[in-house]
Protein backbone atom coordinates (compact mmCIF):
# COMPACT_ATOMS: atom_id res chain seq x y z
CA UNK A 1 0.00 0.00 0.00
CA UNK A 2 1.40 3.36 -0.96
CA UNK A 3 0.85 6.68 0.78
CA UNK A 4 -0.83 7.97 -2.38
CA UNK A 5 -3.47 5.22 -2.35
CA UNK A 6 -6.50 6.18 -4.44
CA UNK A 7 -8.87 4.36 -2.09
CA UNK A 8 -10.66 5.79 0.96
CA UNK A 9 -9.19 4.18 4.06
CA UNK A 10 -11.59 5.24 6.83
CA UNK A 11 -15.38 5.40 6.97
CA UNK A 12 -17.69 6.62 9.76
CA UNK A 13 -21.39 6.41 9.05
CA UNK A 14 -24.82 5.14 9.95
CA UNK A 15 -26.06 2.11 8.04
CA UNK A 16 -29.73 1.12 7.79
CA UNK A 17 -30.78 -2.13 6.13
CA UNK A 18 -33.99 -3.13 4.39
CA UNK A 19 -35.20 -6.45 2.96
CA UNK A 20 -36.93 -5.72 -0.35
CA UNK A 21 -39.28 -7.80 -2.44
CA UNK A 22 -39.01 -7.54 -6.22
CA UNK A 23 -42.03 -5.23 -6.27
CA UNK A 24 -40.58 -2.93 -3.60
CA UNK A 25 -37.26 -2.82 -5.42
CA UNK A 26 -38.88 -1.80 -8.71
CA UNK A 27 -41.09 0.80 -7.01
CA UNK A 28 -38.18 2.27 -5.08
CA UNK A 29 -36.04 2.61 -8.20
CA UNK A 30 -38.89 4.39 -10.02
CA UNK A 31 -39.60 6.68 -7.06
CA UNK A 32 -35.96 7.76 -6.70
CA UNK A 33 -35.11 8.02 -10.40
CA UNK A 34 -32.78 10.96 -10.97
CA UNK A 35 -31.93 11.30 -7.29
CA UNK A 36 -29.00 8.84 -7.28
CA UNK A 37 -26.09 8.23 -9.64
CA UNK A 38 -23.93 5.08 -9.90
CA UNK A 39 -20.71 5.14 -7.89
CA UNK A 40 -17.30 4.19 -9.34
CA UNK A 41 -18.03 0.46 -9.02
CA UNK A 42 -21.60 0.69 -10.36
CA UNK A 43 -22.80 -2.89 -10.74
CA UNK A 44 -20.28 -5.43 -9.51
CA UNK A 45 -19.90 -8.77 -7.78
CA UNK A 46 -18.42 -8.35 -4.32
CA UNK A 47 -16.37 -11.21 -2.92
CA UNK A 48 -15.55 -11.55 0.77
CA UNK A 49 -13.66 -13.91 3.02
CA UNK A 50 -14.67 -13.48 6.66
CA UNK A 51 -12.17 -14.32 9.37
CA UNK A 52 -13.17 -15.85 12.66
CA UNK A 53 -12.05 -18.24 15.39
CA UNK A 54 -12.69 -22.00 15.07
CA UNK A 55 -15.70 -21.63 17.39
CA UNK A 56 -17.00 -18.58 15.45
CA UNK A 57 -16.48 -16.26 18.40
CA UNK A 58 -16.78 -13.01 16.44
CA UNK A 59 -20.01 -13.76 14.62
CA UNK A 60 -21.62 -15.37 17.67
CA UNK A 61 -20.90 -12.21 19.63
CA UNK A 62 -22.22 -10.06 16.80
CA UNK A 63 -25.53 -11.95 16.65
CA UNK A 64 -26.13 -11.13 20.33
CA UNK A 65 -26.29 -7.43 19.33
CA UNK A 66 -23.79 -5.99 21.80
CA UNK A 67 -23.01 -2.27 22.05
CA UNK A 68 -19.68 -2.95 20.33
CA UNK A 69 -18.87 -5.57 17.70
CA UNK A 70 -16.26 -6.10 15.02
CA UNK A 71 -15.62 -8.12 11.87
CA UNK A 72 -12.48 -8.78 9.86
CA UNK A 73 -12.75 -9.58 6.17
CA UNK A 74 -10.86 -9.68 2.89
CA UNK A 75 -12.77 -8.05 0.03
CA UNK A 76 -12.51 -7.75 -3.73
CA UNK A 77 -14.75 -6.23 -6.40
CA UNK A 78 -13.83 -8.93 -8.90
CA UNK A 79 -12.19 -12.37 -8.96
CA UNK A 80 -8.60 -11.33 -8.24
CA UNK A 81 -5.25 -12.66 -9.41
CA UNK A 82 -2.28 -12.72 -6.99
CA UNK A 83 -1.05 -9.28 -8.15
CA UNK A 84 -4.48 -7.61 -8.05
CA UNK A 85 -5.48 -5.13 -5.37
CA UNK A 86 -7.84 -6.36 -2.65
CA UNK A 87 -8.92 -4.84 0.67
CA UNK A 88 -8.36 -6.00 4.22
CA UNK A 89 -11.21 -4.44 6.18
CA UNK A 90 -11.84 -4.07 9.89
CA UNK A 91 -15.47 -3.17 10.45
CA UNK A 92 -16.56 -1.98 13.89
CA UNK A 93 -19.98 -0.93 15.12
CA UNK A 94 -20.44 1.04 18.32
CA UNK A 95 -23.81 2.35 19.49
CA UNK A 96 -25.24 2.17 15.98
CA UNK A 97 -22.36 3.95 14.25
CA UNK A 98 -20.26 1.96 11.78
CA UNK A 99 -16.51 2.57 11.63
CA UNK A 100 -14.64 0.88 8.82
CA UNK A 101 -10.87 0.80 8.41
CA UNK A 102 -9.34 -0.76 5.33
CA UNK A 103 -6.04 -1.11 3.55
CA UNK A 104 -5.46 -1.94 -0.10
CA UNK A 105 -2.88 -4.62 -0.74
CA UNK A 106 -2.00 -7.25 -3.32
CA UNK A 107 -3.92 -10.51 -2.94
CA UNK A 108 -0.72 -12.53 -2.54
CA UNK A 109 0.46 -10.28 0.33
CA UNK A 110 -2.99 -10.26 1.94
CA UNK A 111 -3.22 -14.06 1.99
CA UNK A 112 0.35 -14.43 3.27
CA UNK A 113 -0.59 -12.10 6.14
CA UNK A 114 -4.09 -13.36 6.98
CA UNK A 115 -3.63 -17.08 6.28
CA UNK A 116 0.01 -17.67 7.24
CA UNK A 117 0.92 -14.80 9.56
CA UNK A 118 3.62 -13.25 7.39
CA UNK A 119 3.98 -9.50 8.10
CA UNK A 120 2.60 -7.04 5.58
CA UNK A 121 5.14 -5.25 3.37
CA UNK A 122 4.20 -1.91 5.01
CA UNK A 123 3.03 -0.50 8.32
CA UNK A 124 0.34 2.16 8.83
CA UNK A 125 -2.00 3.14 11.65
CA UNK A 126 -4.76 1.04 10.11
CA UNK A 127 -2.54 -2.00 9.51
CA UNK A 128 -1.49 -1.83 13.17
CA UNK A 129 -5.17 -1.82 14.22
CA UNK A 130 -5.67 -4.96 12.14
CA UNK A 131 -2.51 -6.44 13.69
CA UNK A 132 -4.06 -5.91 17.11
CA UNK A 133 -7.18 -7.85 16.18
CA UNK A 134 -5.10 -10.67 14.68
CA UNK A 135 -3.10 -10.88 17.92
CA UNK A 136 -6.15 -10.59 20.16
CA UNK A 137 -7.71 -13.63 18.45
CA UNK A 138 -4.62 -15.85 17.96
CA UNK A 139 -6.66 -18.69 16.43
CA UNK A 140 -8.39 -16.46 13.87
CA UNK A 141 -8.44 -17.67 10.28
CA UNK A 142 -10.58 -17.85 7.13
CA UNK A 143 -14.06 -19.02 8.12
CA UNK A 144 -16.60 -18.16 5.42
CA UNK A 145 -16.69 -17.05 1.79
CA UNK A 146 -19.59 -14.79 0.93
CA UNK A 147 -20.54 -13.20 -2.41
CA UNK A 148 -23.27 -10.98 -3.78
CA UNK A 149 -24.16 -8.89 -6.81
CA UNK A 150 -24.31 -5.20 -5.92
CA UNK A 151 -25.73 -2.02 -7.37
CA UNK A 152 -24.09 1.01 -5.71
CA UNK A 153 -25.18 4.64 -5.93
CA UNK A 154 -24.63 7.95 -4.18
CA UNK A 155 -26.92 10.95 -3.87
CA UNK A 156 -26.92 13.29 -6.84
CA UNK A 157 -26.97 16.30 -4.52
CA UNK A 158 -25.34 14.63 -1.51
CA UNK A 159 -22.29 12.42 -2.13
CA UNK A 160 -22.31 11.40 1.55
CA UNK A 161 -25.63 9.61 0.98
CA UNK A 162 -24.96 6.16 -0.42
CA UNK A 163 -27.23 3.29 -1.30
CA UNK A 164 -26.31 -0.30 -2.09
CA UNK A 165 -28.67 -3.03 -3.27
CA UNK A 166 -27.44 -6.63 -2.99
CA UNK A 167 -28.91 -9.73 -4.60
CA UNK A 168 -27.87 -13.31 -5.38
CA UNK A 169 -26.22 -13.68 -1.97
CA UNK A 170 -24.27 -16.94 -1.80
CA UNK A 171 -21.99 -18.60 0.69
CA UNK A 172 -19.55 -21.47 1.00
CA UNK A 173 -17.64 -22.87 3.95
CA UNK A 174 -14.69 -24.43 2.14
CA UNK A 175 -12.35 -23.34 -0.67
CA UNK A 176 -11.88 -20.06 1.20
CA UNK A 177 -9.94 -18.12 -1.44
CA UNK A 178 -11.11 -15.11 -3.44
CA UNK A 179 -9.26 -16.37 -6.50
CA UNK A 180 -11.61 -19.37 -6.69
CA UNK A 181 -14.45 -17.16 -7.87
CA UNK A 182 -17.92 -16.25 -6.57
CA UNK A 183 -19.72 -19.56 -6.35
CA UNK A 184 -21.73 -20.92 -3.43
CA UNK A 185 -25.19 -21.71 -2.08
CA UNK A 186 -27.80 -18.96 -2.28
CA UNK A 187 -29.15 -17.94 1.14
CA UNK A 188 -32.04 -15.62 0.21
CA UNK A 189 -34.77 -16.02 -2.39
CA UNK A 190 -34.08 -14.89 -5.98
CA UNK A 191 -36.84 -12.25 -5.67
CA UNK A 192 -35.31 -10.64 -2.56
CA UNK A 193 -32.69 -7.91 -2.19
CA UNK A 194 -30.87 -6.36 0.72
CA UNK A 195 -30.75 -2.57 0.53
CA UNK A 196 -28.48 -0.45 2.72
CA UNK A 197 -28.66 3.31 3.19
CA UNK A 198 -25.36 4.75 4.36
CA UNK A 199 -25.35 8.28 5.71
CA UNK A 200 -23.08 10.58 7.67
CA UNK A 201 -26.14 11.82 9.58
CA UNK A 202 -29.89 11.23 9.41
CA UNK A 203 -31.69 9.92 6.33
CA UNK A 204 -33.04 12.92 4.33
CA UNK A 205 -36.71 13.72 4.87
CA UNK A 206 -37.61 13.23 1.20
CA UNK A 207 -36.12 9.74 1.24
CA UNK A 208 -37.85 8.86 4.51
CA UNK A 209 -41.15 9.80 2.87
CA UNK A 210 -40.44 7.55 -0.14
CA UNK A 211 -39.64 4.61 2.14
CA UNK A 212 -42.77 5.22 4.20
CA UNK A 213 -45.03 5.48 1.15
CA UNK A 214 -43.66 2.21 -0.22
CA UNK A 215 -43.92 0.51 3.20
CA UNK A 216 -40.20 -0.25 3.22
CA UNK A 217 -39.10 -0.62 6.83
CA UNK A 218 -35.70 -1.18 8.47
CA UNK A 219 -34.62 -4.69 9.34
CA UNK A 220 -31.70 -6.26 11.13
CA UNK A 221 -29.78 -8.42 8.67
CA UNK A 222 -26.14 -9.49 8.70
CA UNK A 223 -25.17 -11.55 5.67
CA UNK A 224 -22.44 -13.39 7.53
CA UNK A 225 -24.65 -13.72 10.62
CA UNK A 226 -27.58 -15.11 8.62
CA UNK A 227 -25.32 -17.54 6.77
CA UNK A 228 -23.81 -18.71 10.07
CA UNK A 229 -27.23 -19.31 11.62
CA UNK A 230 -28.26 -21.43 8.62
CA UNK A 231 -24.97 -23.33 8.92
CA UNK A 232 -25.57 -24.06 12.61
CA UNK A 233 -29.17 -25.13 11.99
CA UNK A 234 -28.01 -27.65 9.42
CA UNK A 235 -25.29 -28.94 11.71
CA UNK A 236 -27.90 -29.44 14.42
CA UNK A 237 -30.31 -31.17 12.03
CA UNK A 238 -27.51 -33.49 10.89
CA UNK A 239 -26.60 -34.30 14.49
CA UNK A 240 -30.23 -35.08 15.42
CA UNK A 241 -30.60 -37.26 12.32
CA UNK A 242 -27.45 -39.20 13.21
CA UNK A 243 -28.62 -39.70 16.81
CA UNK A 244 -32.02 -40.99 15.64
CA UNK A 245 -30.34 -43.34 13.17
CA UNK A 246 -28.15 -44.80 15.91
CA UNK A 247 -31.21 -45.34 18.12
CA UNK A 248 -33.04 -47.18 15.32
CA UNK A 249 -30.02 -49.41 14.62
CA UNK A 250 -29.52 -50.26 18.30
CA UNK A 251 -33.23 -50.92 18.93
Q: How many CB atoms lie within 10 A of CB 148?
A: 25
Residues counted in the chain? 251
**Percent with pLDDT over 70 in the chain:** 91
Determine, yes or no, domain membership for 3: no
Cα distances from 247 to residues 85, 155, 236, in angstroms, run 53, 61, 17
pTM score, whole prediction: 0.89
- Provide the pLDDT for residue 8: 55
Determine, yes or no, domain membership for 4: no
Q: pLDDT band for position 200 (50/70/90)?
A: confident
pLDDT tens, residue by residue, 23-45: 999 999 999 999 999 988 779 99
Judge contact between 146 and 180, C-beta under 8 A.
no
Question: CA 77, CA 73: separation in Å to the nearest integer?
Answer: 13
Determine, yes or no, domain membership for 223: yes
- Provide the pLDDT for residue 243: 57
CATH number at residue 40: 3.20.100.30
Determine, yes or no, domain membership for 230: yes
Which residues neighbour 132 within 8 Å (Cβ) at sequence distance 6 or greater? Answer: none
Looking at the structure of the chain, the number of domains it has is 1
Determine, yes or no, domain membership for 158: yes
Tell whether the model's pLDDT for residue 129 goes beyond 60: yes
Judge contact between 72 and 50, C-beta under 8 A.
yes
Determine, yes or no, domain membership for 224: yes
Cα distances from 70 to residues 100, 148, 169, 246, in angstroms, run 9, 21, 21, 40
Q: How high is the mean pLDDT of the chain?
A: 91
Determine, yes or no, domain membership for 53: yes
Determine, yes or no, domain membership for 5: no
- Domain hosting 157: range is 10-250
Helices 205-213, 22-31: inter-axial angle, 10-degree rounding: 140
Amino acid sequence: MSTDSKYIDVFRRYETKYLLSERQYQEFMRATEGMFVPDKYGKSTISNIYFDTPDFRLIRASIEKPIYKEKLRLRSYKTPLPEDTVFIELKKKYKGIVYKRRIDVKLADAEAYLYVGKPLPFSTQISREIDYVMNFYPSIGPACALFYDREAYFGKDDPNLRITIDSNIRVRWDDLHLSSGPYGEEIIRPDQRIMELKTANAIPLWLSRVLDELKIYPTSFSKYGYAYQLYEMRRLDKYIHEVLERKVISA
